[in-house]
Amino acid sequence: MIRKSTQRKTAGRIVRLLPLALLTLWVASCGGRGDDPPGQGQEPGVPVEVVTLRGRAASLRIERVGVLRGSAEVDVVPKVAGRIQEVRAARGQRVGRGDVLAVIEQADYRDGVKRGEAGSAVARANLVQAELNVKRQRTLFEEGITSDAVLEAAESAYQVASAGIQQAETALETAERQLSDTRIVSPFDGYVGARMVEVGTFVAPPAAAFAVVALDPMEIEVAVTDRDVTRVKIGAPAEVSVDAIPGRRFAGEVTEVSVSTDRMSGSFPLIVRVPNPEGMLRDGMTAAVAIEVGQKPDAIVVSPDVLIERGGQWLAYVVRDTVAEPRRVVPGELVAGGIIVEKGLQAGDRLVVKGQAYLDDGTRVRVEGVGS
């Protein structure tokens, strides 16, 4: 009975230990701990991919985000009063300089032109008659038939007729201009940003009937720090991209740089102007702007993801023979294609670009790929 009891206890311990043994065998068959570097247990060394560093020219850039806006936006105010007879432009429609947006009822203004033409005709006839009378009275005066007073009266009547025709011509020009002003026109090439009238709407200055916005070129206002504003020059090239048009880059340039800070933000605003001949960019789009502020020759540029932060320091790993060597680096500015490394790396170094997370000083490595 003692032997059977002992056997049962031993069998129980074996059953309880069996799952742990199976788990140990499974972990061993999978290559050990889950945080071991890939490839361990196959050949000596951690597998890595490297690139040989070369210096290259890098464009130094300031990157900001802003909102696109039209380079000009104008409220189109009718010059005369009246009811809208015809609307020719819709919101969002592309228009050219001088294109008719709407027409005000013209009947009263046409009547005004007719009255002006009649008044001008009468004034011209009066002037002709006054001129003939002056000539007659001078002849009679020279012959001693008429007096000084009569001649002076004729000359005075001529002066009144001359002033009358000037007034009549001015009135006619005013009537003709008012008739022309019944056509509400676009002041420049652009798009109708807003329309505030319909057929039958009564309009009069100074209320606006339309808003027209120029979308070629576009402008972006961005803010920079006091450190960066000294590096930005008028005419500096800029690259603009918007999420709404993926993969497309638009070339622009800096056209304005403020000499004083914005009181609210404490930063310096500047304007980037972007040609938009295709009309792809629209007012209100959010845009990323990269402004070129200089060039650095022979820069060492790496992808930011090759750098590792440990203990408050930035490290990169290079390979010497078959051993990983950590380098303390000083990251610089972000540029196209990566980040400049100011110190710690040099041309000719074999930089680890894949597998660096598993490395330490002196780790044996196995180069399995060479990047470009």
Residue 315 included in any domain = yes
- Pick the range with the lowest mean pLDDT from 17-21, 218-222, 341-345: 17-21
Same domain, 141 and 174: yes
Mean pLDDT of 213-242: 92
Same domain, 161 and 145: yes
Q: State the CATH number of the domain containing residue 177.
A: 1.10.287.470
Residue 217 included in any domain = yes
Q: What is the pLDDT of residue 20?
A: 31
Domain-ending residue, one of 296, 317, 338: 296
User: Residue 101 pLDDT > 90, yes or no?
Assistant: yes
Residue 79 included in any domain = no
Mean pLDDT of 268-272: 95
Q: State the CATH number of the domain containing residue 344.
A: 2.40.420.20
Mean pLDDT of 324-328: 94
Q: What is the pLDDT of residue 133?
A: 83
Range of the structural domain that residue 319 is part of: 46-55+300-370
Q: Which residue has the higher pLDDT, 41 or 297?
A: 297
User: Residue 28 pLDDT > 70, yes or no?
Assistant: no
- Pick the range with the lowest mean pLDDT from 97-101, 244-248, 333-337: 333-337
Q: Which residue has the higher pLDDT, 151 or 318?
A: 318
Same domain, 290 and 218: yes
Residue 251 included in any domain = yes
Q: Which residue has the higher pLDDT, 315 or 15?
A: 315
Residue 18 included in any domain = no
Q: What is the pLDDT of residue 6?
A: 40
Domain-ending residue, one of 296, 318, 335: 296
Average model confidence (pLDDT) across the chain = 85
Same domain, 288 and 305: no
- Pick the range with the lowest mean pLDDT from 17-31, 284-298, 334-348: 17-31
Same domain, 165 and 131: yes
User: Residue 187 pLDDT > 50, yes or no?
Assistant: yes
Q: State the CATH number of the domain containing residue 231.
A: 2.40.30.170
Residue 200 included in any domain = no
- Pick the range with the lowest mean pLDDT from 95-109, 207-221, 266-280, 330-344: 330-344
Enter the tokens of residue 9. Answer: 């206890």
Enter the tokens of residue 74. Answer: 């104008």
Residue 37 included in any domain = no
Residue 189 included in any domain = no
Place of tokens 């009564």: 202
Chain segment 120-158, per-residue pLDDT in tens: 999 888 888 888 988 888 888 788 887 888 888 888 888
Q: What is the pLDDT of residue 29?
A: 38
- Beta-bridge partner residues of 308: 315
Domain-ending residue, one of 247, 273, 296: 296
Enter the tokens of residue 226. Answer: 């006091």
Q: What is the pLDDT of residue 55?
A: 92
Mean pLDDT of 234-262: 93
Same domain, 361 and 305: yes
CA separation for the pair 238, 255 (Å, rounded): 10
Query: For the whole model, what pTM was predicted?
Result: 0.60
User: Residue 11 pLDDT > 60, yes or no?
Assistant: no
Q: What is the pLDDT of residue 43?
A: 60
Convert the chain into a string of H (helix), E (strand) and C (coil). Answer: CHHHHHHHHHHHHHHHHHHHHHHHHHHHHCCCCCCCCCCCCCCCCEEEEEEECCCEEEEEEEEEEEEEEEEEEEEECCCCCEEEEEECCCCCCEECCCCEEEEECCHHHHHHHHHHHHHHHHHHHHHHHHHHHHHHHHHHHHCCCCCHHHHHHHHHHHHHHHHHHHHHHHHHHHHHHHHHCCEEECCCCEEEEEECCCCCCEECCCCCCEEEEEEEEEEEEEEECHHHHCCCCCCCEEEEEECCCCCCCEEEEEEEECCCCCCCCCCEEEEEEECCCCCCCCCCCEEEEEEEEEEEEEECEECHHHCEEECCEEEEEEEECCEEEEEEEEEEEEECCEEEEEECCCCCCEEEEECHHHCCCCCEEEEEEECC
CA separation for the pair 138, 142 (Å, rounded): 6
- Count the domains in the chain: 3
Place of tokens 């010497």: 320
